[in-house]
Structure 1
C-alpha cells in the first residue's frame, strides 16, 4: 500500500506565535499517527511559480492515516491555533509505488 503525504507551503508572519501555539503542540498529534517529517522548513530555491516562506513534507504509513490525522479533533484544534500566525496550502496525497523511469 502506498504511503500518504502532507505537502504544506506556508507563509509564517509571526514566527514566535507559530512556534508557541502550533509547533510546540503538534508533536503529540503527529506521533499518534506515526508521522515522519521529510522536509521541515530548510533552505530552498523556488524555480517555478510563487514561493511560500516555509515548506513541509510529512510522511504517513498510508493515505488513510494521513487523512485521519488531518481530520482528527486534535489537529483541527491546531489549525485554529496556527491560523492567526500563518496561511498557506496543504495537500494530502497518496504516494506512488509504480515503475520508475529508466
Structure 2
C-alpha cells in the first residue's frame, strides 16, 4: 500500500537549503518514490502556510522509513534542519 510523505516548513537559510534538494531527489529514486507536489508559494485557505510544502508518494511504509533512515540521508537531513524552521513531516497511508 502506498504512503504519502507530507512535509511543510519555513526556509530560513535559502543558500544552505539549495544544497538539500538535488541529492534528496536522487535518494528518493533509490526507494521508488515520486514527488507529486512541491511548492514554495502555497495558497493558504485556512491558517498561514509555511514556505515549503511537498507530497511524496512511496510504494510502501517500509520504503519511506528506509529512505528517512538511510545513511545517505542523514547529512542531508542536517542541512534541512539547519536551513529550515517549524518543520512538520508525516506519513499518510494511501489506498
Q: TM-score, normalised by structure 1?
A: 0.81
- Larger Rg, first or second structure (1 or 2): 1
Residues 1:53 and 2:60 are matched in the alignment = no
How far is 1:37 from its partner? 0.5
| CA 1:18–1:42: 2 relative to 1, 3 Å | closer
Gaps of 5+ in 2: none
Moved more, 37-46 or 52-61: 37-46
How does the TM-score come out when normalised to structure 2?
0.86
Number of residue pairs aligned between Structure 1 and Structure 2 = 94
Q: In structure 2, what is the Cα distance between the partners aligned to 1:19 and 1:37?
A: 17
Deviation digits for residues 56-83 of structure 1, max 9, x if unmatched? 0000111211111111111222111221
Tell me the residue number matched to 2:72.
74
The answer for the alignment partner of 2:88 in structure 1 is 89
Q: Any conservation in 2 of the 1:4–1:64 contact (CA below 8 Å)?
A: no
Deviates more, 1:40-49 or 1:3-12: 40-49
Please list, as runs of the form range in 1=range in 2, the aligned pairs for 1:39-50 lying within 5 A after superposition: 39-50=37-48
What is residue 6 of structure 1 aligned with on the other side?
A: 5
Q: Deviations over 1:27-82 (max 9, x none)?
A: 22111111100111154221223421111000011121111111111122211122
Matched residue SS, 2:90: strand
Name the counterpart of 1:30.
28
